A and B are shown apart, each in its own frame.
Chain A
Amino acid sequence: MGWAIALHGGAGDIPLTLPPERRLPREACLRHCLQLGVDALKSKKSPLDVVELVVRELENNPHFNAGKGSVLTTNGTVEMEACIMDGNTMKCGAVSGLTTVVNAISLARLVMERTPHIYLGFDGAEAFAREHGVETLDASHFITPANIERLKQAKEANRAQIDYMQPVQKNEKDAATTDGDSQIGTVGCVAVDNDGNLAVATSTGGFVNKMVGRIGDTPIVGAGTYANSLCAVSATGKGEAIIHGTVARDVAALMEFKGLSLEEAAACVVKERVPKGNVGLVAVSATGEVTMPFNTTGMFRACATEDGYSEIAIWPSTED
C-alpha cells in the first residue's frame, strides 16, 4: 500500500527526432505537474482533488492538447471535453463541446457535484458554466499559433492528423508507421492515496481537423476514463478505437473478472483490445501500483509512488 500517481500528456507517433524546443517544455511541465500531485498527496489531499488540480495545470499549459493549446476543429475552433471519476463512490462527471471554459475538468467536476446528471455538452454545458460563475475566456484564448499551423497542415494533407506528428513531409515515411488517422494529445491523471481511494481525470481538445461536434473517448466513462475500487485508468490515443475497445473499463474488468494484476490487465488491453499505434494509458491500483503501457511510438508520461520511485519519459524505456 501507499500512495501513487501517474499522469500523461498524450500517446502517439512522437518522433524520436522531436526537437528540443518541443520536447523540453513538455518534460518540464510533466515534472512540474508530477511534483504538484506528489505534494498534494503527501499533504493528504483526496485523490479526487489531486487529479483535478494536476489536470487543471496540464490544461493551462499550452504545450498539451487540452485547455489552452487544444487542437482545432475543421472550422478552426476549439471544442474541449473532459471527465472525472471517483473510484470510491463511482460518481462521475463529463463535459463536451466547451469553447470558453478555462478548465474543462473543473466543469466536469461541477456537473458531478451540482447536477443530477453525469454529462453535459455544448451550449448546455457552456450555459451551466456561466450560471455557476466558472471561469471563462474568449475562445481565442485557447488557440495557439502551433495549432493553427497543425490545422493548416492537416487540411493540406486532407486528413485528420495526430498533433505530435512532424510537419507533413511529401514522402511521409513516418506516417506509414501510424494508422493514418491516429490521434493523440489528451492529458490525464490517476491517483490513489494511502487508504486505497482512487480517482481519475482526463481532458482534451480532441483531434486536429475533427468534425465540429465530434466527441472522442475522453468523456465516455469506460472508454477514456474509469475508476472503481480496484483501479483508476486514463487513456489516450485514437478516440474511436478507445471507444469500441472500452479501454478504461476493460483494465478494471480484467482485474475483477479474471484476477489479473494491474500491470497484466493494462498490458493485455493495450495489446489486444486496440490495434497497434492507437493507445496508451496510465493506471494505478488500490494497492499503490502504477503502470503506463502504450502501443504507440511514445507517450508523454510521469509517475511516482510513495516508496520513492519516480519516472518522467516519452519513449519506451530500455527494459521494455
Chain B
Amino acid sequence: MGGWAIALHGGAGVDPNLPHHRQEEAKEVLARCLNMGISALRSSLPALDVVELVVRELESDPVFNSGRGSALTEKGTVEMEASIMDGMGRRCGAVSGVTTVKNPISLARLVMDKSPHSYLAFSGAEDFARLHGLEVVDNDYFITEDNKGMLKLAKEANAIMFDYRIPTVLPDTCGASVENPLQMNGLPISVYAPETVGCVVVDGQGRCAAATSTGGLMNKMSGRIGDSPLIGAGTYAGSLCGVSCTGEGEAIIRGTLARDVAAVMEYKGLGLQEAVDFVVKERLDEGKAGLIAVSRDGEVACGFNTNGMFRGFATEDGSVEVEIW
C-alpha cells in the first residue's frame, strides 16, 4: 500500500486479428510512455504533471487515436478533444473541436490553469491557444494515410466506425470467434484502428490525477462531442482515485463511468478494483468500454467488457506490465 502508481491506456476493443507487428508497435509506444511516466514519478513530479506529459507523448505518436493519428470526421478533418482533472481540489480543464493545437491535453490544462472556465470548444478554444502561444500546426499534420483509408471504408460501409471494432460474438462462443460485420469486398477490415488514450496517476504524496485525449469516432459528424472531454464520463479524479475511460463514447456518457468509480468508493466504501468491476458490470448495459484507475493508496486497476484493451501499469514496488488482451 502507498507509493506512486501509474496506468495508461490506448483504447478498449481490439480486433483479435490485429496483425502481430501492429500489436508490438502499439505495445512499444505504451511501454515508452509508461517509462516516461515512471521516470517522472521517480523524480517526484506531481501527478497532474505526469498525466499531462504521458498523454502528450501518446498524442504525438501517430499510432493512437489522439493528436497525430486521430480518427477523421465525415469531412475528412480532425477534431480533437481532451480533459484533465486534478484530484486535489477537483480542478479540471477540457477542450473540444480542437483542429490545430498540437497537444490538446496541454490546452485542456491551460483552460484549467489560466482561464476562469473549465471547458472551451471550437474556435474559442483555438483562439485561447493562440493567445497563450501554444504550439499550433495545420490540421493536415494530424491526418495519417491509414486513417484516410479507414474513413473511406467507413463511408463505403456507410456506418460510423467506432474507434475500436468489436467482432460480433455469438453467445455460445468464448469470444474468440470473429464474425466481423465490417467486411468489405469479402475482406475483413483487419486494419488496426487507433484508440483514445488516457493516463491516471497517484504520486508519492497520494495525489491523484487523470487525463484523456482523443480524435473521437471515425466518420463522426462534425461537431460531435464524445465522452473524453466530459468530466465524470471519460475522466475523473478526486481525493480517492483517478479514472480514465475509453470505448463507446455514448455508453460512457450515459453511464457517467469515471465518476461512478469514485462514487461507489466514496458512497459504498468499495475498494478500487471492486469499484471498477462494479461499474463495468452494472453501468454499461449493452455498451462497450474499458477504464483504468489508480487509488490514493497506490493501487492500480482496470476493467473492460470489450475484446481487449491496450494498457500499461506500473507501481512503486517495481511491477510493470503492458498488455492488450
A96 to B225, CA, bound (A): 10
Contact B122–A221 (Cβ < 8 Å):
no
Contact of A258 among B96, B233, B267 (CB under 8 A): B267
Is B118 among interface residues, defined by CB-CB distance under 8 A? yes
Contact of B225 among A120, A210, A213 (CB under 8 A): A120
Is B223 among interface residues, defined by CB-CB distance under 8 A? yes
Closest to B115 in A: A211
Interface 0/1 of A164-204, CB less than 8 Å to B? 00000000000000000100000000000000000000000
Closest to B236 in A: A246
Is A42 among interface residues, defined by CB-CB distance under 8 A? no
Contact of B256 among A119, A121, A221 (CB under 8 A): A221
Q: What residues of A have a CB within 8 angstroms of the CB of B223 in the complex? A: 120-125, 127-128
Interchain nearest-CB distance for B164 vs A (Å): 15
Contact A257–B120 (Cβ < 8 Å):
no
A115 to B232, CA, bound (A): 22
Is B298 among interface residues, defined by CB-CB distance under 8 A? no
Tell me what chain A mostly uses at the interface: helix, strand, loop, or mixed.
mixed
Interchain nearest-CB distance for A27 vs B (Å): 31
Q: What residues of B have a CB within 8 angstroms of the CB of A246 in the complex? A: 231-232, 236, 256, 259, 263
Interchain nearest-CB distance for B115 vs A (Å): 6
Contact A222–B256 (Cβ < 8 Å):
yes
A213 to B125, CA, bound (A): 6
A221 to B255, CA, bound (A): 9
Contact A220–B263 (Cβ < 8 Å):
no
Is B130 among interface residues, defined by CB-CB distance under 8 A? no
Interchain nearest-CB distance for A226 vs B (Å): 7
Interface-lining segment among A44-52, A247-255, A306-314:
A247-255
Known: A244-B231, A246-B232, A250-B263. A117 touches B250 (CB 8 A): yes
Is B254 among interface residues, defined by CB-CB distance under 8 A? yes
Interchain nearest-CB distance for A175 vs B (Å): 16
Contact B120–A160 (Cβ < 8 Å):
no
Is B170 among interface residues, defined by CB-CB distance under 8 A? no
Contact B97–A210 (Cβ < 8 Å):
no
Tell me what chain B mostly uses at the interface: helix, strand, loop, or mixed.
mixed
Known: A220-B230, A223-B232. A244 touches B264 (CB 8 A): no
Contact B222–A127 (Cβ < 8 Å):
yes
Contact B222–A124 (Cβ < 8 Å):
yes
Is A91 among interface residues, defined by CB-CB distance under 8 A? yes
Contact of B263 among A120, A210, A211, A249 (CB under 8 A): A249
Interface 0/1 of B63-90, CB less than 8 Å to A? 0000000000000000000000100001
- Interface size band for B: 35 or more
Q: What residues of B have a CB within 8 angstroms of the CB of A160 in the complex? A: 116
Contact of A214 among B119, B225, B232, B268 (CB under 8 A): B119
Kindly name the residue among B92, B225, B236, B259 whose own CB sees the greatest number of chain A CB atoms within 10 A.
B225
A124 to B217, CA, bound (A): 15
Interface 0/1 of B266-296, CB less than 8 Å to A? 0110000000000000000100000000000
Contact A243–B254 (Cβ < 8 Å):
no
CB within 8 Å of B: which A196-235 residues: 210-216, 220-223, 226
Q: What residues of A have a CB within 8 angstroms of the CB of B255 in the complex? A: 90
A212 to B128, CA, bound (A): 9
Q: What residues of B have a CB within 8 angstroms of the CB of A293 in the complex? A: none
Interchain nearest-CB distance for B29 vs A (Å): 29
A44 to B47, CA, bound (A): 52
Q: What residues of B have a CB within 8 angstroms of the CB of A243 in the complex? A: 92, 118-119, 231-232
Contact of B121 among A127, A213, A240 (CB under 8 A): A213
Known: A119-B226, A246-B231. A212 touches B254 (CB 8 A): no
Is A280 among interface residues, defined by CB-CB distance under 8 A? no
Contact of B128 among A94, A213, A254 (CB under 8 A): A213
Kindly name the residue among B121, B264, B285 whose own CB sees the greatest number of chain A CB atoms within 10 A.
B121
Q: What residues of A have a CB within 8 angstroms of the CB of B221 in the complex? A: 115, 117, 120, 124, 128
Closest to B92 in A: A244
Contact of A249 among B90, B220, B232 (CB under 8 A): B232
Closest to B125 in A: A213
Known: A221-B254, A243-B231. A116 touches B160 (CB 8 A): yes
A221 to B253, CA, bound (A): 7
Closest to B285 in A: A90
A and B contact pairs by CB, cutoff 8 A, 23 listed: A92-B253, A115-B221, A116-B160, A116-B250, A118-B225, A118-B254, A119-B230, A120-B221, A121-B223, A122-B223, A124-B224, A212-B123, A213-B97, A220-B232, A221-B233, A222-B233, A243-B92, A243-B232, A244-B85, A244-B90, A246-B231, A246-B232, A258-B268
Which residues of B approach A to under 8 Å, CB–CB?
A: 85, 90-92, 94, 96-97, 115-125, 127-128, 160, 220-226, 230-233, 236, 249-250, 253-256, 259-260, 263-264, 267-268, 285
Besides A128-B221, A211-B117, A211-B120, 8 new A-B residue pairs in contact (Cβ under 8 A), listed by A number: A92-B253, A211-B128, A212-B127, A220-B230, A222-B233, A244-B231, A257-B263, A258-B268
- Sort A-B residue pairs by CB-CB distance and give the 7 closest, nearest first: A124-B223, A213-B124, A257-B267, A212-B124, A222-B256, A119-B225, A222-B232
